[in-house]
Structure 1
Amino acid sequence: MRWIFILLAVANISLFAWFMSNDTPSAVRVAPVVQGDNTASISLVSEVDPAQLASTEPAPRATEQPRPEASAPVQKSAGASEALCTLVGPFDEVYQGEDVARRLQALQVDASLQEIQMQGQMRYWVFLAPLNSSQEAFRKLRELQAAGVDSYVIPKGSLENGISFGIFSEMERAETLTKDLQSRGFAAEFREEPQTYLERWVVLGSGAGGVSPETVADDFWDQLQLDYPDIERRQNLCSEIRSGDEE
């Protein structure tokens, strides 16, 4: 009986081992790890549905557009410069200037003969300030002449009814006379007086209404220099040219 029991026990163990070796193991399940409300769960790839896997692929990153560089500040161009006029001269005789003006006009250049105020040597005027009336001026003149001071009444201009003691080309002489008169009790003073004189010049425009003087051929200027050896060509601001008939 004991041997029968042992045989049955061995048979049962062998049968159990055979069933265990042929049984398919069940799928392994991994419980998700909870990391908080905002944290996604981790799952094995084998447990994820392929359709769900495709939907969870990361979207392609949008191509980052290059940041436009700040454009360099545009410098404002300087304001247009004042117009320049060309002057040709001076001419001693009117017909000479008129001849040159006609030659230039034949080339469609705006040109005209004008008498221009020219800046001369600086002068220094010693004077007594204007008085209230011509009567007071002449009374003061008699007083000065009685004292042996050479003087005269200024008849017009900015110093009208003043007393003039002379105009000098040297500032030292004007200062000396002014100090001498002041030491004798006369309120003399002096100021600079630019000397002006008139000259005949052909004035060429800036080219706004015709041909620009700069486009005139060199041959023209060479011939003009041969015909009038003493003349010259210069440029000046048109706004600074003063005709002889201007105040």
Structure 2
Amino acid sequence: MRYIAIFLLLANIAYFVWLRLGASPVVVSVPTPARALLNSGLTLVSEYELQLEQRPALTCFTVSSFISVDDASSFIAEIGGIASDASVTLSGDPLSPQYRVFLPPASSRGIATITLDSLSESIAAAQMEIETYLITSGLLENGIALGVFSEQASAQNTQSRVLQLGYPAEIEEIPRSTGEIRVQLQVLEQEALENPAWLELTGDRTGLSIVENLCETIAQGTQFP
């Protein structure tokens, strides 16, 4: 009995030591959350093609042979929101620009005429030689022209003298080139089919030509490596 009691005592001591030192701790496995992919700014080819399919269909035109940049700009203003994008471009080699001096458009033809008469009297009283006339069409309609100059210094001199008379003269640079003046248009295909009347705007301008061309659909360089 004594040996049995000693054996049980030793067994209890060994079991106690094993519990304190030998047992491996239980580790609960916690799943690691998946890392989000970095947004590198790249677009997959399949995604880009899907984007193209979802875009509204566009029809592009080049309208050429405008008589002036003003005429081209006025054409863009007249077609209004029919074109989703429109811009004036010059073909050929660039030439030195010209500089137009003018008074901004008045709110009505009557006010513009009164301003022109008053300005003409002030110029005559100051013994200045400045050409003036009323602008009757285009983006500057009801404005007052004060001359077009090939040198910027001459335009600034005229502007300064008119400012001294109390009138808000402005200067506009007019780009020039050896080639044609063109308007590049992007028109929604639906507008081109349902509202063809916009093409009639070219009828009031002699010699204009309209060519339909491909719209640019090439992905930008940042979309693909």
- TM-score class, shorter-chain normalisation, is 0.3 to 0.5
Bigger radius of gyration: 1
Which structure ranks higher in relative contact order (CA pairs < 8 Å, sequence separation ≥ 6)? Answer: 2
TM-score normalised by length of structure 1:
0.39
Give TM-score scaled by structure 2 length. 0.42
